[in-house]
């Protein structure tokens, strides 16, 4: 609307045309605000192998962080072997950059420009070998082809992460860590669901 108004000579800008333009701007702003405020939850779209043109299943994920920013880095976490007695750190993954700082996860998560390492909120026993996978806010896909898409839904919160600002919290494993751990340890969807469920209950 603005360019159209600017192209008209001043003599054509009558109060009725200005009011019409402002009404259009108000409607546009209202619709845009409505769309933005309605996009506060992640969504998945899944296509089964029989419904896809390639014959392969497809899983997608929108990472709708609402009014917050998202650390959009696409990070490859390498395959690793771990000595006996190792632990896997659990984090309170944050919105924005950096979502976590810990070079033991991936070289791309190592501190840069004076960043301080993220303090873990807990630990679980580590397995002897973990698969390589692609990672964003949530785990995406591992080297075995196991893929995960996260979809936010309404839920009753029964606990909060145990962080320095919430000493009363007791949750140690959120969906971010659970999805990543499933990709580190599993080659099948059944294993991923079982693994995430067991860790969440513990």
pLDDT at residue 89 is higher than 50: yes
Pairing of strands 58-62, 129-130: unpaired
Mean pLDDT of the chain: 78
Give the three-state DSSP class for 2.
helix
pLDDT at residue 154 is higher than 70: no
Phi-psi region of 10 (alpha: psi -120 to 50; beta: other; left: phi over 0): alpha
Q: What is the dihedral of CA 127, 132, 134, 139, to 10 degrees?
A: -20
Range with the poorest average pLDDT among 98-112, 121-135, 167-181? 167-181
Q: What is the pLDDT of residue 19?
A: 40
% of the chain at pLDDT higher than 90: 44
pLDDT at residue 5 is higher than 50: no
Q: Which helix (H) or strand (E) holds 90?
A: strand 87-90
Q: Which of 68, 69, 66, 61 is nearest to 41 (CA)?
A: 66
Q: What is the pLDDT of residue 71?
A: 84
């Amino acid at each position: 609307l603005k360019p159209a108004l600017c192209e008209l000579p001043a003599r054509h800008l009558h109060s009725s045309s200005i009011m019409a333009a402002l009404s259009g701007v108000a409607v546009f702003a209202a619709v845009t605000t409505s769309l933005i405020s309605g996009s506060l939850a992640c969504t998945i779209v899944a296509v089964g192998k029989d419904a896809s043109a390639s014959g392969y299943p497809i899983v997608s994920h929108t990472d709708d962080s609402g009014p917050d920013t998202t650390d959009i880095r696409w990070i490859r976490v390498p395959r690793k072997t771990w000595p006996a007695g190792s632990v896997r750190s659990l984090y309170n993954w944050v919105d924005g950059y950096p979502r976590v700082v810990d070079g033991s996860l991936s070289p791309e998560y190592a501190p840069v420009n004076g960043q301080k390492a993220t303090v873990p909120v807990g630990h679980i026993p580590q397995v002897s070998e973990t698969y390589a996978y692609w990672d964003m806010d949530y785990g995406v896909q591992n080297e075995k082809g196991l893929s995960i898409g996260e979809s936010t839904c309404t839920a009753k919160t029964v606990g909060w992460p145990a962080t320095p600002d919430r000493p009363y919290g007791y949750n140690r494993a959120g969906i971010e860590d659970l999805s990543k751990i499933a990709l580190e340890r599993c080659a099948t969807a059944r294993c991923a669901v079982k693994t995430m469920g067991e860790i969440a209950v513990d």
